[in-house]
Amino acid sequence: DENENMYLIRGHHDNVFVRYNVTTGTTTEMAKLPVGAWDGSSLVYVGNHNEIYYSPGSIGTTRSGSSNYFYKYDIPTNTWSEVTTDRPAAQTGAGSSMTYDGSRYIYLTRGAGQTTWWRYDLDASAGSRWSTLSVIGAPNVTTGGEMTHNGGYIYSVRGGNNANYRYDIGAGTWATMPVLPATISTGGSITDGGDGYLYVTRGTNTANNYRYRIADGLLGTWTSMTDIPAQVNAGGFEEHVSNRNWVIAGIGTNSYPDGLYSFVVSSTGNGTGFMKTGTYTSEAINLVSVYKWANFSVNYTLPNNTFVTFETRTSADGATWDNWTNISNEQVFGTTHTFKINSTPNGYLQVRANLSSSDRIFSPLITDYAVSYYQDITEPTNPSAVSAYTDGTKVTSMSTDTWYNHTAPYFEWPDVDAMGGATDGVGGSGVAGYYVYFGIDSGADPVTFQTANNYTAGSLSAGQTYYLKIMTKDNAGMITATSYNAFTYKFDNIAPINPTLIDVVPTGYTATDNFVFTWSADATDSFSSIVKLQYRTDGDVPDTWVDIADVNQVSLTLPNVDHIVGAYQSGKNKFYLRVVDGAGNVSPPFLQEYYYSASAPTPPENLVATPTSSTNNSFTFSWDTPLSYAGDPTKIIYHYSINLLPTANNSVATAAKAAGPSAFATQKGDNLFFVVAEDESGNIEWGNYASVTFTADTSNPPIPGNVQIFDTSDRENTKYGIAVKWARPDGIDVANFDGFVIYRSEDNVTFTEIAKTTGSAYVDSGEILLASGDTTLESKLYYYYVKSKDKTSNYSAASSTVSIIPTGKYTTAPKLVGTPSYTVQSFLANFKWATDRVASSFVEYGKSISLGETTGQVDSVTTHEVLVKGLEAGTKYFYSVKYIDPDGNIGTSTVDTFTTLPPPVISDVTVTDIQLYTAYINWTTNVSATCTLKYGSYSIEETSGGSSHIQKIDKLQPASDYSAQIDCIDGDLNTFSSDQYSFSTPEEPIVSEVLIENKENVDLPTVTISYKTNVSTSTLIYYKSASGDNHTYLTEDLVTDHAAEISNLDPAVEYTITVTGNDQYNIQAKPFEQKITTRTDSRPPKILSNKSMGRVSGRGINAQANVYIRIETDEPSRIYVAYARGIVTKSFEQSTSDDSLNTYHLITIPAEAGDVYSYQVEASDEAGNKTVTDAATVPVEQSKANATEVITRTFLNNFGWIAKIRGN
């Protein structure tokens, strides 16, 4: 019926009527049949009336003279009633059966070898419900005959042979169908399997079962099915209930007479016969953009013993997926189930449904599902404004693309949806944050995500330009297509370098407030360039500087229009100069002192002449410091004159406060000595003098001797000169000596005084104006003599006369042709230059402008080359070329600078790709060089030079320490070496303790593998069968204890398994290989149901007691039952034999009525896996006496004494 109940009658004249629920396995005895059933008895279920109709067959007894009984059973009230108004036309016999068309008509065959059959109209009036149908072509149904209804047709097996028929209800005609493979007889039956097939049980004490596809009409073929696990005979039947065909064997041998067998009908139409588990995985669903899930809704139905769960996973690109995640928070609205999706929102989604059927009869049915989500496929907009500050205090703002020296600049842009801020538009998912880039690559894309709308930079490198770029991301994961180039920041925090020299004129004290400061034009800045110079004096407001806008300016005069004060005090003044670069960095102030005074000193004090009178004109004068002066008294200059008031033109200057002893008298008799003071600022008042009188009385001086003459002419410029030299005579009064007077003549007759000197030589260059007005010497004969003169104007006699014709020599150095050039290396420099005349070749050089070192050669040449060696690498030098011609004239170039190249160095030494026996060593040289690599006891020499070097080294040993050093020589033959570098080769990975086993208790063949490695490696396993492809198992985590589980293997197949692994250096452990044969099935069957009851069938001495055990397993199994009488938990005395593979088992154990039995079930599947239950007990009911026994017992009780009389 609709509650999956099956109704059964026992037959054999018995009136037992039971109901069996196929779901619960419960048997319930219902109201007994009104008359016992016999051959030809049948039942039919009329579902739309909730009734069962019963024809008792060829019963042996009659009531009221009638044998063609017809009964109706009301299911709700469990009551029988006889249909007396409408009985069949005749009694039914063997092979009779009934079928219902599902709406109105019941069909009944008479059986007993007759073709007669009738139709019962449920809607007709009482007394007229039966009608006889056409027998043309109808089967003469007999034992084994039965009919069933399907889709407008009635199908019938005849019984007694292999014929079968089809009746077209609409046409009212019979047709013969293809014959069955064998004769259908006692216990035979036909049923509609609900899967498009007809099923026929052969009966006749056989297990044969056949099937016919209904869609083939009259042209199909009957095929044999799996044998029934019982031999069906009289009393047997086959009926379809709840997607199974149910069979009772009847009195068949080798079968349980009360056994009930079921066959699961696999049918798409029925929705039955499925795998135990199954998985549905959707395709990758491109949702384009998801920023939040709403829900997952699905419509599904779950038949009994079925289950379904759902999982989701997502991906950003459809290629890389996250883990499967269970949905949760189920809510049910009708048939719609709504869940929460727990996967990360992403553009791609997959849904996986995990379906299971514990009894494999039904399957969950998913009709549709839907994913609801929030989408935003419009990218947000970037901010359009940014504010830049020198630091996080936001006090001082900055401009883009400008040099600054702030190490932590702070940038801020407006809040979301504010003016100039980022926005995601109306209905957008909202701005989640920003990808920000601050770096030196103008083309870079921002990759660092943040939610704050500000950024503070740090770890900046001087001289770099940084770019602030921003991209906006919304909550849906949409990112702006292009970045906002927010700000360009140029960073320089290195102070510029001052000029190397600074000077002031005048250098000492001055009375004039005018000072000229000059500095060298070599101030430098590494990155942001010099933008100005600044100066100040100590007389200015502190930290107040005056700009010099022209960075090429190298001098400054104080005072000026920008600095109207020159000297701000009398005495020492201080002037500071500094350099400012484009980033605002300033150099340390460069100090230059200058001095000022405007007041002249008073006359010197205490002037004294010693002696006051002398016959040899030898006097000494002394005086003291003036009473009033400015500056350092040791720097006062004194000016004195003889017999004339002192002036700037006639006075003699001295720093001492004394003069003499010397011949100061310029005339015989009285003379006057005047002296005046000048301070270090140059202040002097010529009228502030002191004076003293002294007297001289002297005679004529001696004659000069040994007069010589020389040619000193300037040949280059045709300027002639003559040098005259003489010996100083003995007897000169040094104190009164005034000098030697030189005379010249062209005819050795007339001599003219041309000069006076206190020395013993004179060079006549013709520059003295003679009386004739002639000032130029010519290349002709000239005569000279010399006289001595004292200070009192006494002359000696003339010396000897000497003569000479002047011809001349070069007097100036040769001229440079072009500009000197040089080439530099790390430790030497080569200079080249040319002169217009021959000269020697020298280079003066040094680390300061004062030079100090000289090298070269004396060869006279016009093309010069000097090699300077022994220099320091990477050093700035000053230099000047120097050349001397044969006449001794010296020429030099202006002082310039050069810088030697950096020293050759080895850098970036790395040891890479270190393997067990090899490695690579890389290094860089800043010059092209050829190198030798030394490691261990080996060395490798390069055959060519370069700046990038790489060498593969071999002959290494595992787990060993090595050191390496590099020696190089560059093209200038400079040799240089690296430091020593150490490295170690890795330990060789080794596999050990390998254990490969079949895993127990799994549905599919599975192998577990464990092993160890001496160092951490990945877990890498290769496996294949003899006929299969290679497979790989890999986990990249580096471990020493490895474990893996490989499933979905083929059953009962030998696999070759190779275990290995790669360490952190990608070195593979030596593979270990082992073979293993998988099991067919390693999981024991699960006993889903274990029910038992002890029942007694029959009455009296014919009663038979049995224990019935109903077992259901989750996979086909054989059942073995050990049992014993009484209550025991072990040592069972008896056992049943194994039955055939099936999931449903009904075991019958002969028993004694009223006893208790214990049993234990062992289930084993086809692979031999076993499950054993705990011991269970079952009581057997008491037997019942039949009527004869009751009468006999009563008789004996009442008349038993008679037996005693007879001695019984």
How far is 758 from 696, CA to CA, in rounded Å?
20
- The CA-to-CA distance between both ends of the chain, in Å, stands at 57
**Which among 211, 377, 372, 193 has a CA at the least distance from the CA of 273?**
193
Partners of 197 in the β-ladder: 213
| Topology, domain 605-696 | Immunoglobulin-like (2.60.40)
Residue located via tokens 């549709």: 368
What's residue 772's pLDDT? 54
Q: From the CB of residue 650, how many other CB atoms can be counted at a distance below 10 Å? A: 14
State pTM to two decimals. Answer: 0.38
What's residue 467's pLDDT? 97
Residue range 502-596 in CATH 2.60.40.10: yes
Would you say the CATH fold of 1087-1179 matches that of 58-264?
no
> Architecture of 1087-1179 per CATH?
Sandwich (2.60)
Left, alpha or beta for 1105 (phi > 0: left; psi -120 to 50: alpha)?
Answer: beta
> Which residues does 1206 contact at the CB level (< 8 Å), separation at least 6?
none
How far is 334 from 1004, CA to CA, in rounded Å?
37
Query: Phi and psi of 1195, rounded to 5°?
Result: -60, -45
Both tokens assigned to 1164: 């084993």
Convert 10-54 into a string of H (helix), E (strand) and C (coil). Answer: CCCCCCCEEEEECCCCEEEECCCCCCCCCCCCEEEEECCCCEEEE
Sheet strands (E) in 193-347: 197-201, 209-213, 223-224, 237-241, 244-248, 260-264, 277-281, 285-286, 292-301, 306-315, 325-326, 328-333, 336-340
Maximum separation of any 2 CA atoms in the chain, in Å = 222
Q: From the CB of residue 586, how many other CB atoms can be counted at a distance below 10 Å? A: 14
Q: 85-110 as b/e, with b when 16 or more CB fall inside 10 Å?
A: eebbeebbbbbbbbbbbeeebbbbbb
Report whether 515 contacts 566 (CB < 8 A): yes
Contacts within 8 Å (CB) and 24+ apart, 110-114: 110/141, 111/39, 111/40, 111/141, 111/142, 111/145, 112/40, 112/58, 112/141, 112/142, 113/140, 113/141, 113/142, 113/160, 114/140, 114/141
Both tokens assigned to 595: 């001095």
What's residue 64's pLDDT? 52
CATH of 991-1077, one of 1.10.3720.10, 1.10.760.10, 3.40.50.300, 2.60.40.10: 2.60.40.10
Both tokens assigned to 1189: 């026994």
Find the angle CA(672)-CA(678)-CA(684) to the nearest 5 degrees: 85
H or E element, residue 971: none
Rg (CA), the chain: 66
Query: Phi and psi of 745, rounded to 5°?
Result: -145, 150
Report whether 299 contacts 336 (CB < 8 A): yes
Residue 961 C-alpha from the chain's centroid: 32
What's residue 1130's pLDDT? 80
What's residue 419's pLDDT? 93
Could you tell me the CA-to-CA distances from 351 to 291, 301, 331, 519, 926 in Å, in that order?
A: 18, 18, 18, 81, 60
The domain locations on the chain are: 58-264, 277-374, 387-491, 502-596, 605-696, 705-804, 816-899, 906-984, 991-1077, 1087-1179
Both tokens assigned to 1179: 């009581």
| Topology, domain 816-899 | Immunoglobulin-like (2.60.40)
Its CATH class, for the domain covering 906-984, is mainly beta
Residue located via tokens 């060696």: 869
pLDDT per residue over 409-428, tens digit each?
A: 999 999 999 999 999 988 78
Query: Phi and psi of 54, rounded to 5°?
Result: -130, 130
Both tokens assigned to 1129: 């938990």
What's residue 313's pLDDT? 97
Mean pLDDT of each 10-residue bin along the chain, 1208 residues long: 89 89 89 90 93 88 68 94 92 93 95 94 94 93 94 94 95 95 94 92 94 94 92 91 88 83 68 75 90 91 88 94 94 89 93 86 88 88 96 95 96 94 89 96 94 96 96 90 96 96 89 92 95 96 95 95 91 94 96 87 94 87 91 89 90 91 82 91 88 85 87 80 90 83 93 91 74 69 91 80 85 90 92 94 94 92 94 94 90 94 92 91 93 93 91 92 93 89 92 92 87 94 88 92 90 92 91 90 85 82 85 89 86 81 88 88 86 89 58 43 37
How far is 933 from 942, CA to CA, in rounded Å?
8
Its CATH class, for the domain covering 705-804, is mainly beta
pLDDT per residue over 158-199, tens digit each?
A: 999 999 999 999 999 999 999 999 999 999 999 999 889 999
**Which among 42, 45, 91, 83 has a CA at the least distance from the CA of 65?**
91
| Topology, domain 58-264 | Neuraminidase (2.120.10)
Q: What is the CATH number of domain 387-491?
A: 2.60.40.10
How far is 91 from 388, CA to CA, in rounded Å?
111
The answer to whether the peptide bond before residue 886 is cis (omega within 30 degrees of 0) is no
Find the angle CA(1135)-CA(1140)-CA(1141) to the nearest 5 degrees: 115
Q: For strand 484-491 and strand 402-404, is the pairing parallel, antiparallel, or unpaired?
A: parallel
How far is 71 from 85, CA to CA, in rounded Å?
11
Sequence letter at residue 360: R
What's residue 1201's pLDDT? 41
Report whether 603 contacts 689 (CB < 8 A): yes
Convert 385-445 into a string of H (helix), E (strand) and C (coil). Answer: CCEEECCCCCCCECCCCEEECCCCCEEECCCCCCCCCCECCCCCCCEEEEEEEEECCCCCC
Residue located via tokens 């001095």: 595
CATH of 277-374, one of 2.60.120, 1.10.150, 1.10.3470, 2.60.40: 2.60.120
How far is 544 from 535, CA to CA, in rounded Å?
9
Could you tell me the CA-to-CA distances from 621 to 607, 673, 694, 859 in Å, in that order?
A: 7, 8, 10, 55
> Which residues does 523 contact at the CB level (< 8 Å), separation at least 6?
496, 497, 498, 499, 530, 533, 551, 579, 587
Report whether 1055 contacts 1025 (CB < 8 A): yes
Q: 1182-1200 as b/e, with b when 16 or more CB fall inside 10 Å?
A: ebeeeeeeeeeeeeeeeee
Q: 819-858 as b/e, with b when 16 or more CB fall inside 10 Å?
A: ebebebbbbbbebebbbebebbbbbbbeeeeebeeeebee
The answer to whether the peptide bond before residue 559 is cis (omega within 30 degrees of 0) is yes
How far is 1094 from 1104, CA to CA, in rounded Å?
11
Query: Phi and psi of 1191, rounded to 5°?
Result: -65, -45
